[in-house]
Amino acid sequence: MDRGKRPGHSLAARNNKIYLDFKDIIREHALPFLPAKSLCKFRAVCRDWRLQISTPFFAHNQSLYCRSTSGFFLQTPGGSPSLVPIDANSCGVPDQFLRFLPEPVDIKSSSNGLLCCQGREGDKAYYICNPLTQQWKKLPKSNANHGPDPAIVLLFEPSLLNFVAEYKIICAFPSTDFGEATEFDIYSSREDSWEIAGEICFGARTVMPKSGVHVNGVVYWMTTSSILAFDLTKERSQVLQGYDTRGILGTFGGKLCKVNVIGTSFKLNILVNTHTNTMQMGSRSRMWSETQSVVLDSKIVGDVAREYSVLHVDNEIMVVQVGERTYSYNFKSRATKELTSRANSHSRCLPYVNSLVAL
């Protein structure tokens, strides 16, 4: 009879064991998905969490798993950059003005927690930095003339097997040997050097410096009359005709997309076929397929017709500016949110992931 009372004590012990296992599950499998600012707060939870979050292995995993856009750096010509977080409680950096760099800079591109910046003085050197950890590296000078406003695109894809961040920078610049031609200069962190690709594109017009987008190994830029594509693996370029240059390029569903403003709505189209110019006559194949039509919440932005401009679009979020106000639209929740009311009309919007990635 006495034995029948013992399972109650064992059950309590098992419940305690379940609680401990659940705590370990959170520490091992939930924390790496959180933005870095939240993790800095969670160091105070307990000694185990502080030690876990402080290890290089954890920082590597966090940079691998935390890939959602946490906020945006706004860069005005000649002004200091500023960070606009989507959620100020979970995203932030110690110095949003990047004063830890050796000189004033302009942000040219961003990718998964890293920023590519260019100095404003002297030889206008390029810097790669993580604004959260304030680690930075000055890149060697290229032999090519990138021009006063280079069309730079930073490519950084965290890898499970690479504990050292490996990244590339590609710049489309006007050819000095051939008129109305574009060449491509590529920097590799593995080689720590620049190399001009053998490919020369003769069909593209002037490249718009702020328009570069990387999608699945291909970099796209808007030009004055078309889209210029450069395949990094094949080192081949292609010109895509029939594009309205009043839109903006982005990514959606793992593919290149464009967004155009029509009145108070936004039309999102995905690139589905880059070879429509080679299809037989009468073919109904289209280069772009319309997938989304977005209307911002009038309760947030007002119902008065305005001059909207799209600053950024990716798989999760679209950023729109009207006057000095900037709004975000979440594709999943369909929620409209005001980000800031102090944006410059000439601001450039660069997506930022609050990452612990180490340089």
Instruction: State whether 32 and 49 are in the same domain.
Output: yes
Residue 245 has pLDDT above 80, yes or no: no
The strand ranges marked E within 37-125 are 71-75, 82-85, 105-111, 114-119
Q: Determine the structural domain holding residue 263 and report its residue range.
A: 58-352
Task: With respect to residue 302, please indicate whether it lies within any of the assigned structural domains.
Answer: yes
What's the whole-number mean pLDDT along residues 111-125?
93
Q: Which residues pair with 237 in a beta bridge?
A: 230
Task: In whole angstroms, give the CA distance from residue 349 to residue 213.
Answer: 13
pTM of the entire predicted model: 0.85
pLDDT at 280: 44
What's the whole-number mean pLDDT along residues 259-283?
72
Residue 1 has pLDDT above 50, yes or no: no
Instruction: State whether 33 and 176 are in the same domain.
Output: no
CATH of the domain at 174: 2.120.10
pLDDT at 350: 93
Q: Whats the size of the chain, residue-wise?
A: 359
Instruction: State whether 253 and 172 are in the same domain.
Output: yes
Task: With respect to residue 249, please indicate whether it lies within any of the assigned structural domains.
Answer: yes
Residue 277 has pLDDT above 70, yes or no: no
User: Nearest CA to 232 among 190, 287, 169?
Assistant: 169
pLDDT in tens, 296-343: 888 888 766 677 888 999 988 999 988 888 899 999 999 999 988 777
The two structure tokens encoding residue 243? 């594009």
Instruction: State whether 252 and 335 are in the same domain.
Output: yes
> With contact defined as beta carbons under 8 Å apart, do 226 and 239 qualify?
yes
Task: In whole angstroms, give the CA distance from residue 95 to residue 110.
Answer: 16
User: Nearest CA to 168 among 210, 212, 208?
Assistant: 212
**For the stretch 259-269, what's the b/e string if a residue is b when 16 or more beta carbons lie within 10 angstroms of its beta carbon?**
bbbeeeebbbb
